[in-house]
A and B are shown apart, each in its own frame.
Chain A
């Protein structure tokens, strides 16, 4: 069965500092990988996704993620965090094939301090 682990429940960074959120997945084949962001009281917004090709994926809001098959990881990065990035971030894995359910990690809550 597919699974996702986000080992950091809560992360605090200073505004302007770099950010890396960790994500490890378990899946039997090449997966679809996603990062979503959720602001308080809101639904989830897709930041970026990977399913093939270049292992470094660029997303919205200045985020990027790198797929490392050997480490089963898909870490999210941002070189300089803004106060508006404070939110909860979810990594997710889905099966290739079109219509399978997506499994989400437990989320990492990001706090940004001035």
Chain B
């Protein structure tokens, strides 16, 4: 079966712009989580969506937002980009039930200039 897809894989933006990242989980995985990965902070949880509703949220400013569609695809939006937003953004689909196993996509590498 197909894996988790993230688009685009690479993105370069300038400060003040906004960006939208997309994630398509494995078919049947209704929960999607987003993480920011940086060398200094490691993997940090952004938020989780389930059935089009945000269910959990990490400690990120309101510039970071997301949504989920009825087909479980999810988008993450960052407005008013800052240099510190440069990171690898990973999404993960969750196989619900015993085990909480997450299936990660390859990530979107965002560079803010």
The residues of A with any CB-CB pair to B shorter than 8 Å are: 32, 34, 36, 41-46, 49, 51, 90, 94, 96, 98-107
Contact = CB atoms under 8 A, between A and B. Distances in A.
B28 to A, nearest CB: 15
B90 A99 contact: no
Contacts of B63: none
A32 B4 CA distance: 22
B31 A101 contact: no
Contact of A43 (B97, B101, B107): B107
Contacts of A41: 106
Question: Does more than half of chain B's interface fall in helix, strand or loop, or is it mixed?
Answer: strand
A46 to B, nearest CB: 6
Interface of B: 4, 31, 33, 35, 42-43, 45, 48, 50, 55-56, 58, 90, 92, 94, 96-107
A104 B42 contact: yes
Given A42-B106, A43-B107, A101-B48, A106 B42 contact: yes
A99 B55 contact: yes
Contacts of B101: 34, 46, 49
A45 B56 contact: no
26 contacts: A32-B99, A32-B100, A34-B100, A43-B104, A43-B107, A44-B90, A44-B92, A45-B104, A46-B101, A49-B99, A49-B100, A49-B101, A51-B98, A51-B99, A51-B100, A98-B97, A99-B31, A99-B56, A99-B94, A99-B96, A101-B58, A102-B102, A103-B45, A105-B42, A107-B42, A107-B43
Given A98-B97, A100-B56, A46 B102 contact: yes
Contacts of A102: 33, 45, 100, 102
Given A99-B55, A101-B48, A106-B42, A94 B100 contact: yes
